[in-house]
A and B are shown apart, each in its own frame.
Chain A
Amino acid sequence: MQKTIIRANTPWWIIDWRELWEYRDLIGIMTRRDLTSAYKQSVLGPLWFVLQPLMTTLVFTVVFGKIAKIGTDGLPPILFYMSGMLTWNFFAMTMNSVSSTLTSNIGLFGKVYFPRLSIPVVKILVNSATLALNFLMFLSFWSYYRFFTDATMPPAWHMLAILPILFYVGTLGMGMGLLLSSMTIKYRDIKFFLPFFSMLWMYASPIIYPASVVPERWRWVVLYNPMSWAVEATRKMLAGQGTFDMTQVLMGGVFVLVLLVFGLFAFNRVQRTFVDIV
């Protein structure tokens, strides 16, 4: 028999993973709902999932590559911008959608109980599915450059490095999102601040420019930015040159894990009674 214990001040470090697993059907259905309802009643439907980043890439290629003539470290411009958008979009969309978990689902949370952590899990699944589509598109562009042009590209197995990179990016987005979500409950300002913050972060990451063009005195911005590590790693992977510093990789990994755990605890602490104060 299922036994529920209701108590005051549940410790913030107790997260009921078993219960979350019990609700896996809900998580699955919500993920499908988010994916299918997003583009219902639009002519192109799910095609928008790939069209949006494709159009951004084209705009970037024209504006930053052709007009502003920012270099791409010898990579084909389309691949350069597309790889940047691939990691950045995954990160930013995860962070943004997870950060609004508590505020935008208050109607639901206030009326029925289910593990509140289900929503961030749904968001990461939805974004991973979008990412998978984008990655397929990226892969087809990459194959074109690799096999049908004389651009010098490393062998295909190098592309496997994308998996740990994306895992890192997802963890970073999730950790940031959970942290912001628990803060938004107390400070609504964050909701208004977030789009600006996210834009600023994008320009502080080498998405539309290679890290090599950053002047010496701004280097630290790129150096201490956990997103730039991921973007730079992707570029190195594409070019097939450059080395990975093991201490940096380890530091990055530890950093995002600590951030995720911290975010989970903060979220868990706030979710217990947040319906009372919204």
Chain B
Amino acid sequence: MNEPVISVRNLSKMYHLGTINRRTLTDELHYGWLKLCGRDPVGHMGKLGEKPKDRNPEFWALRDVSFDVQQGEIVGIIGRNGAGKSTLLKILTRITEPTRGGAVINGRVGSLLEVGTGFHPELTGRENVFMNGTILGMKKREIAAKFDEIVSFAEIEQFIDTPVKRYSSGMYVRLAFAVAAHLEPEILLVDEVLAVGDTAFQKKCLGKMTDVANEGRTILFVSHNMGAISGLCPKSIVLKDGCLDFGPVSTDAAIEQYMQEAKQLLDCRLADRKDRQGEGKILITDFSITDKDGCKLESAICGKPLDFRFEYTAAEGAELTDITVSINITTSNGVFLTLLCNEIASSTFPHIPSRGILICHLDKLAFAPGLYMLNINIQRRGVIQDWIIGAASLMVEAGNFFGTGRIPPSTHKGVFFEQSWRVDKTE
């Protein structure tokens, strides 16, 4: 077999939890002084002067991860929040160094971890294309050669000589992605960037990634969107608590394994879940489904009204204005189906109490019978407060959606639409 393009060996990364390096020079001098005087600095200075190591437990974001990726393979990286996916990419892109172990990468690496890094608001689109391209590792003449292609991909021909601070956020993101998409690395590392831009643009991005894949280049793709992963990556690895749980195996097997674990996690109370991201000033503690009278339901019935209820508590001093709540519903295989979001459907909550229940009411549940997964996300002005993937499951049972008493065959999955039928005669 050929030498692998990416070869990861016993890669481990340790972080110190809690506040590191909040100590100031005066603390340090005080610490040194006490030590010089022969006194016990830790005892004398109390919590202020403790050595970070005494106070901060170690946290292994990655532990002994090893795998190989061959030339031309497209590998998905699947894992819950906090499983170490981002840390893995950060190390492979050399943003930070591992604590133990290492990796060998053969070929030029390009990354799409965050688009638009290094954009300078005062500079024009043209200047920023060059700036951003060289930051991503391109040469000036490579960019010049592709310049027109980049600009037309981003659809901003008219504004290319305008400072980017006057761009709309959509234009900004499009230009940034266009630059990143046109760098021609032998190995591409992608982290969830497809979440940017409008749907049409997202489609274009996915198309671009497929093109890159078809050219025989190697891609590592991190996403929570199992649909995108299974559509793009024949193989995947599953990370769990920083360890390689599974893989590289076929994506279907990996997703099945991952969803299996996700279902086990559902037995855990939301308040006790650790696999969450966000600032954590507002935390989801419980979830339930109720009917319109507030009675708890074990499963929902297709065609009936339904309330999703998320109990939350806010930390003291948390700002409780302008709250956006989103529920992302996927199939049991993690394929994205729909988004319920107060900001889109009506408006953000201008103010919420410090403890309460966020309720999303549906007049008529339109899912076909089956098992669905819910991801929940609470944001305040664009800052994620709490985000749990696979926060809850939703079991839907057959119901009289169409009011005719007839239900579609159980093999037909998906969503239902109200519909009317007629026939027109042609001449």
Contact = CB atoms under 8 A, between A and B. Distances in A.
Interface of A: 1-10, 23, 25-26, 28-30, 33, 36-37, 40-41, 107-114, 185-190, 193, 272-273, 275-277
Contacts of A187: 24-25, 28
A8 B134 contact: no
B102 A189 contact: no
A4 B102 CA distance: 11
B101 A8 contact: yes
A37 B122 contact: yes
Contacts of A5: 102-105
Contacts, number: 111
A3 B131 contact: no
A114 B135 contact: yes
What 7 A-B pairs come out closest when comparing CB atoms? Answer: A26-B134, A7-B102, A189-B25, A113-B94, A4-B105, A6-B103, A25-B140
Nearest to A112: B117
Given A187-B25, A189-B24, A189-B25, A275 B105 contact: no
Pick the most buried of B26, B134, B136: most chain A CB atoms within 10 A of its CB: B134
A194 B128 CA distance: 32
B100 interface: yes
A37 B123 contact: yes
A112 B113 contact: yes
A9 to B, nearest CB: 7
Nearest to A187: B25
6 contacts: A6-B91, A6-B102, A110-B95, A111-B113, A112-B117, A112-B118
B70 interface: no
Pick the most buried of B20, B91, B96, B107: most chain A CB atoms within 10 A of its CB: B96
B93 interface: yes
A26 B123 CA distance: 15
B58 interface: no
Interface string B40-56: 00000000000000000
A113 B102 CA distance: 17
A37 B122 CA distance: 6
B285 interface: no
Contact of A277 (B20, B92, B107): B20
Contact of B97 (A9, A23, A28): A9
B148 interface: no
Interface of B: 12, 15, 20-21, 24-26, 28, 90-109, 111, 113-114, 117-118, 120, 122-123, 127, 130-131, 134-140, 186
A114 B95 CA distance: 8
A114 B109 CA distance: 11
A26 B127 contact: no
Nearest to B20: A277
Contact of A190 (B25, B104, B138): B25
Contacts of A10: 97
Given A4-B94, A25-B139, A107 B117 contact: yes
A188 B100 CA distance: 28
Contact of A3 (B102, B105, B135, B138): B105
B188 to A, nearest CB: 13
Contacts of B186: 1-2
B24 A188 contact: yes
A273 B96 contact: yes
B135 A8 contact: no
Nearest to B90: A275
Given A37-B120, A110-B95, A112-B113, A6 B105 contact: yes
A277 B99 CA distance: 14
Contacts of A189: 24-26
Contacts of B118: 108, 112
Contacts of A41: 122
Contact of A6 (B92, B130, B137): B92
B15 A276 contact: yes
Contact of A272 (B97, B100, B136): B97
Contacts of A30: 131
Given A28-B140, A113-B93, 5 more contacts: A6-B91, A6-B104, A10-B97, A37-B123, A114-B135
Given A2-B107, A186-B21, A111 B120 contact: no
A113 B28 CA distance: 31
A1 B131 CA distance: 25
Contact of B140 (A29, A112, A193): A29
Contacts of A36: 123
Given A25-B139, A108-B117, A109-B95, A277 B21 contact: yes
Contacts of A29: 130-131, 134, 140
A134 B100 CA distance: 50
Contacts of B107: 1-2
Contacts of B108: 2
B113 A8 contact: no
A269 to B, nearest CB: 11
Nearest to B87: A276
Contacts of A113: 93-95, 111
Contact of B136 (A9, A112, A277): A112
A25 B97 contact: no
A10 B98 CA distance: 10
Contacts of A23: 134, 137
B209 to A, nearest CB: 18
A166 B284 CA distance: 61
A194 to B, nearest CB: 12
Contact of B120 (A7, A33, A272): A33
Given A25-B139, A29-B140, A4 B101 contact: no
A8 B99 contact: yes
B113 to A, nearest CB: 6
Nearest to B121: A37
Pick the most buried of A2, A4, A6: most chain B CB atoms within 10 A of its CB: A6
A154 to B, nearest CB: 44
Contacts of B101: 8
Contacts of A37: 120, 122-123
A275 B131 contact: no
Nearest to B24: A189
B53 to A, nearest CB: 13
Contact of A112 (B24, B97, B135): B135
